[in-house]
Structure 1
Amino acid sequence: MPPPRPLPPRFEITPEEIETVVTEFYAAIREHPGLGPVFAAHVTDWPAHEAKIAAFWRNAILFEKSYDGNPLMVHKAAGNVRPGMFDPWLGLFDSVLRRNLRPETAAAWSALAHRIGQGLRYGVVETTRFDDGVPKLR
């Protein structure tokens, strides 16, 4: 039996384009007044973090199987990630996508990022509730 064929990419993009987006995004994150301190509390080696996130996106988009991690568990364990942070995060990410990619590629990656962000936000909300069950949204 022949080996399984690799899955085609979700959309056309190069590993170099993914690298560019990740690098520019985290440069912007470090400057962001609300998100920068949240990341700085956890990221001590930016090049290693960016390499891991680029591997995450290559896996999610190109199906490289180069990422080994659990983003939901990392965000839950961080302790300072709040559901209200996802909109600014995604907005910043979208602006980097639009600056660096063809419109159709930026739109496809944005849609994927928003689906992932929705799942992460839900996972964080479910574990950040007041005692009466009301979610902590900020």
Structure 2
Amino acid sequence: MARIDISEDEIDRVVTRFYERVRGHSMLGPVFAAHVEDWPEHEAKVARFWKNAILRKPGYDGSPMQVHRAAGNVRPGMFSTWLAEFDKVLRAELSPAQAEGWSALAHRIGMSLRQGVVERETFSGGIPKLK
């Protein structure tokens, strides 16, 4: 995995700016609001995730796949919307090289989450499995 030249403070700033956008987003805001009780703690945990993923800094303890599966309200289209909003923040807050590197990593992780959370709930061709 290519190293992204980025600081912990930059990661914290991106995470903070992103969740400012999420809270006001018509689709994503209600989904997150249903699960996040303590925004500062949530943002700190997500920042620890990215510091681990990008800087290989220990400190993140969790399973994004498990959390997203358990949420119960993550639907097709949400990951692409999340990534589009995240990319906007990356471009606004970072240099082009930093934004490009982090975006590529986020899209790989997003694809994995989408496959593990949403696509396991659908048949081939995206037809929903009715429960």
TM-score by length of 2: 0.92
**Counterpart for residue 97 of structure 2:** 104
Give how far 1:24 is off. Answer: 0.3
Q: Does 1:23 align with 2:16?
A: yes
Q: Does 1:34 align with 2:36?
A: no
Give the aligned residue type for 2:86: F
Give how far 1:127 is off. Answer: 3.1
| Cα distance change, pair 72–135 in 1 and its aligned pair in 2 (3 A) | farther
Give how far 1:58 is off. Answer: 0.1
Task: Verify the 8 A CA contact 2:45 2:60 in the aligned structure 1.
Answer: yes
Give how far 1:83 is off. Answer: 2.6
2:74 to 70, 73, 81: 81
Task: Verify the 8 A CA contact 1:11 1:61 in the aligned structure 2.
Answer: yes
**Counterpart for residue 6 of structure 1:** none
Residues in 1 aligned to 2:84 and 2:126: alpha-carbon distance in whole angstroms:
26
**Counterpart for residue 46 of structure 1:** 39
CA RMSD, 1 decimal:
2.1
Give how far 1:133 is off. Answer: 9.1
Residues in 1 aligned to 2:11 and 2:34: alpha-carbon distance in whole angstroms:
25
TM-score by length of 1: 0.87
Q: Does 1:116 align with 2:97?
A: no
**Counterpart for residue 128 of structure 2:** 136
Gaps of 5+ in 2: none
Structure label with greater radius of gyration: 1
Gaps of 5+ in 1: 1-8
* Runs of 4 or more consecutive aligned structure 1 residues displaced over 2 Å after TM superposition: 132-137
